[in-house]
Amino acid sequence: MRIVLVGPPGAGKGTQAVRLAKELVIPHISTGDLFRANISQQTELGKLAKSYMDRGELVPDSVTIDMAKDRMEQADAENGFLLDGFPRNVDQAKALDELLTTEGIKLDAVLDLEVPEDEVVKRIAGRRICRNDSSHVFHVTYSPPKKEGVCDVCGGELYQRGDDREETVRTRLEVYHTQTEPIIDYYKAQGLVVTISSLGPVDEITQRALGALKREKAEQ
Ligand SMILES: [Zn+2]
């Protein structure tokens, strides 16, 4: 299956992407990983991307698209892929369509993880991260540490990332509404959008997504 995953910040996109890719036995292609891999391997695209980043400029869509193209052409992506973080605007979605047409393939579904805005704010603003290890993550309501402000794993101090503050979250949501949400309409016109609720336990959301993707595939 060839899938594009979309959803606002705080929808649990990263978590679901990893789980769905594993269940469907397709590579999870995230723009974050693409950038990191190209930069650390010092590919031409990586060097180009870094030159923009070093100047504090946005990396042009064309660079991101070329990185995604390279990755989608690798052997493990032959039977499908799950794109996460790309496309993030309508221009990129159009470029992706052109690319897929050239390769003679098409998307099977655009999975849209839906979560109410207030829930997004609650999820992100409640996040607390360990100063010693950023993989030690807690939540003031959903997974509180045994002792407030202290990491259960290593005893480190817990803090809130600047990105996770409520006003920053609202700004990130605004960017999502103006830039990324239009791609949902773009794909709706192609009949590709599958919307599921991203509320509830992580396992349930994964099962809900797999069920919805299966139905979508069966209809085609
Ligand atoms: Zn810790």
Instruction: Give the pLDDT confidence of 157-188 residue by residue, as tens digits.
Output: 999 999 899 999 999 999 999 988 999 999 99
For residue 178, CA distances in Å to 50, 172, 220 come to 26, 10, 30
Is 41 within the bounds of a domain? yes
Rounded CA separation 24/83 (Å): 13
Averaged confidence pLDDT in the chain: 93
Report the number of distinct structural domains present in the chain.
1
Is 172 among the catalytic positions? yes
Is 136 within the bounds of a domain? no
Q: pTM for this structure? A: 0.85
- Give me the pLDDT at residue 111, please: 97
Is 124 within the bounds of a domain? no
Asked whether the predicted pLDDT for residue 220 surpasses 80, the reply is: no
Is 13 among the catalytic positions? yes
36 annotated as belonging to a binding site for a ligand = yes
10 annotated as belonging to a binding site for a ligand = yes
Q: Which of 47, 106, 147, 161 is catalytic?
A: 161
Is 140 within the bounds of a domain? no
Rounded CA separation 205/113 (Å): 9
Distance of CA 27 from the midpoint of ligand 1 (Å): 30
Domain of 32, in residue numbers = 2-116+180-219
Share of the chain above pLDDT 90, in %: 84
Rounded CA separation 162/173 (Å): 15
The stretch 77-93 carries a mean pLDDT of 93
Is 206 within the bounds of a domain? yes
Is 62 within the bounds of a domain? yes
| Total residue length of the chain | 220
- Give me the pLDDT at residue 20, please: 97
Instruction: Give the pLDDT confidence of 107-142 residue by residue, as tens digits.
Output: 999 999 999 999 999 999 999 999 999 889 999 998
- Give me the pLDDT at residue 113, please: 96
Write out the two tokens for 24.
């469907």
Is 208 within the bounds of a domain? yes
Instruction: Give the pLDDT confidence of 133-150 residue by residue, as tens digits.
Output: 988 999 999 899 999 999
* Buried b or exposed e, range 123-142, using 16+ CB within 10 angstroms: bbbbbbbbeeeeebebebee
Is 130 within the bounds of a domain? no
Distance of CA 155 from the midpoint of ligand 1 (Å): 6
CATH of residue 37: 3.40.50.300
Where does the pLDDT of residue 67 fall: very low under 50, low under 70, confident under 90, or very high at 90 and above?
very high
